[in-house]
Amino acid sequence: MASRIQEKKHLSFNSLRKSLSQHINASTDSRKSSASQYAHHDVVMSGFACMYFQDPSLVQFQQRLETSRGRNNLQTLFNVHQTPKESQMREILDNLSSESFAPVFKDFHEKLRRHLHLKEYEILPNIIMCVIDGVQHYSSKSISCKCCLHKTHKNGDKTYYHSVLQGAIMHPDKRQVLPVMPEAIKNGDGKEKQDCEINAAKRFVNRLYKAHPRQKFILGGDSLMSRQPLIEDVLNKNMHYLFVAKPTDHVYMYEWLEAFPELPTTEYVDEKGKTHRFYWQNNVPLNGGADAIKVNYLEYQQIDESGKVTFKNSWVTDIEITDKNIIKLAKAGRCRWKIENECFNTLKNQGYNINHNYGHGKENLSFNVYLLILLAFYFHQIFELTDGAYQVCRKRNGSKRYMWEQLRSIITFAVFETWNELLAVVTDPDEFESSIIKKS
Ligand SMILES: [Zn+2]
């Protein structure tokens, strides 16, 4: 029991918030006065608090609360000493190096690993899957910088945008996805050719390996990723891959597969009468090049009762496929949709609002805002995975959306000493009222 209590402590709001504070403090210039070091922490933490509560006007409301009550929730919950001004926030967040957030993601991952939560994410013994995909987080027709990606429309208009190659750890049976530090897709100085997802993916693999050299990963991705140069990079870093392969992208490989009279296969019928059929072939050349690497191919088909194929997908991997692991591998391959659905869609449409234009800034503002949103999402995913009190609160409130509405509204007029106290009120408002009455 003692170890379970400790486990919660290490992944509690307080522990994660303290870790974030430490990393923010480490990113300040130590030559600066302690007053400006405080200001730096207070700005970044207040920016984070806005994303945590999914409320861009949170700082403004907390300022009002401070005027009437003498203190506010930014001070009590987030250890903010002095509530920053809007203009100060933009400037500091714009100048902050985005790399200073990388250790936070690494730290949270390590905390999850140490307390065995990543065990539940293993696809195969000791191997967890990190799915990668690109997502755009800023776009404008007029405001741009030297790093902006751009596309020209038919009528000559240009759209400028910023994207990242995001990675997230996921498992077919787990609802929560756990983000890792993304890689910005951005143009460099004076380069003719624009940066692209596949180049960012190569840098991402390098980054992931450096952050977690002892963790075994299987990298998941769409058909764009199933190219030899990226696959070679993945293998060089001692990682596995499971990338979608499409007949249109891999003509040579599919011709090669066609030449077999039949492929090894296995199938099962589920309780609804649907047939799940799997085919595979190990040791297939990925392309027609003289130095083509050999990959292991797997295909999944879903067939309805009338015999019609209603869904199919196929992948390539370096893991040797057998009738023992093919169902697991196909399931893992299929859960790639979670990065779109559980991660990007949540960030866009479930209150986090990554496409809300918080501003471009001159340097790093738009990427740093994205990272703060991603960290807020990470906090919440960790609570959903590990925090009993949070889970009860969400259940009592019926939906996540309603729970956050309650949390947001209550902090505009009351100050809480701790996050748990706030959570307890939103979990059980009646009990809180009666305890206040008793106290008075
Ligand atoms: Zn830009």
Residue burial 117-152, b: 16+ Cβ < 10 Å; e: rest: bbeebebeeebbbbbbbbbbbbbbeeebbebbbeee
pLDDT score, position 436: 60
- Burial-class residue 183 by CB neighbours within 10 Å (0-12, 13-18, 19+): buried
| Residue 190 CA, ligand 1 centroid: distance in Å | 14
Asked if 162 and 363 touch (Cβ cutoff 8 Å), the reply is no
Distance, in Å, from the CA atom of 194 to the CA atom of 188, rounded to the nearest integer, reads: 8
Q: Give the distance, in angstroms, between the CA of residue 150 and the centroid of all CA atoms in the same chain.
A: 24
Q: Where are the domains of the chain?
A: 2-98+360-439
Mean pLDDT of 213-219: 96
How confident is the model at residue 435, as a pLDDT? 62
φ, ψ for residue 244, nearest 5 deg: -60, 140
Q: Find where tokens 């100050």 sit.
A: 415
| 128-133-134 Cα angle (round to 5) | 150
What is the model's pLDDT at position 6?
41
The pair of structure tokens assigned to 48 is 């984070």
- Of 40 and 431, the structure prediction assigns the larger pLDDT to 40
Between the CA of 293 and the centroid of ligand 1 the distance, in Å, is 37
Per-residue model confidence as pLDDT tens digits over 265-296: 999 999 999 999 999 999 999 999 999 999 99
Tokens of 80: 């903010």
Tell me the per-residue pLDDT of 232-241, one tens digit each, with 9 for 90 and over.
Answer: 999 999 999 9
Q: Ligand 1 mean position to 28 CA, how many Å?
A: 24
pLDDT of residue 17: 97
pLDDT exceeds 70 at position 57? yes
Say how many Å lie between the CA of residue 142 and the centre of ligand 1.
Answer: 10
Most confident of 6-15, 31-40, 121-130: 121-130
| pLDDT the model gives residue 5 | 40
Mean pLDDT score across all residues of the chain:
91
Helix (H, G, I), strand (E, B) or coil at 242: strand
Kind of pairing, strands 127-140 and 216-221? parallel
77-to-18, 21, 262 alpha-carbon distances in Å: 10, 12, 62
Evaluate if residue 4 carries a pLDDT over 60.
no
Q: What does residue 213 show for φ and ψ, rounded to 5 degrees?
A: -65, -25
Q: How far is the CA of 183 from the centre of ligand 1 (A)?
A: 15
Selected residue with higher pLDDT from 344 and 322: 322
pLDDT digits (tens, 9 = 90+) for 296-321: 999 999 999 999 999 999 999 999 99
Least confident of 9-23, 108-122, 182-196, 238-252: 182-196
Tokens of 130: 């990190």
Would you place residue 220 in the very low, low, confident or very high pLDDT band (cuts 50, 70, 90)? very high
CA atoms within 13 A on the CB side of 285: 12
Query: For residue 351, what are the CA distances in angstroms to 101, 220, 328, 360, 428?
Result: 22, 27, 33, 20, 23
- Contact (CB, 8 A) for 53 and 351: no
If you measure from the C-alpha of residue 166 to the centroid of ligand 1, how many angstroms do you get, rounded to a whole number?
18
Residue 437 has pLDDT above 70, yes or no: no
CB atoms within 10 A of CB 10: 14
Return the pLDDT at 1.
39
Distance 36 CA to ligand 1 centre (A): 27
Position 354 scores a pLDDT of 66
State whether residue 147 is helix, strand or coil: coil
pLDDT band at 390 (very low <50, low <70, confident <90, very high): very high
CA 160 to ligand 1 centroid distance, Å: 7
| Cβ proximity of 315 and 298 under 8 Å | yes
In order, the DSSP letters of 4-70 are HHHHHHHTSHHHHHHHHHHHHHHTS-TTS-HHHHHHHHHHHHHHHHHHHTT-TTHHHHHHHHHHHHS
**337-360 mean pLDDT:** 78
Span 159-175, average pLDDT = 94
Ion ligand 1: protein residues whose beta carbon lies under 5 Å: 145, 148
Its sign, for the CA torsion 401, 402, 404, 405, is positive
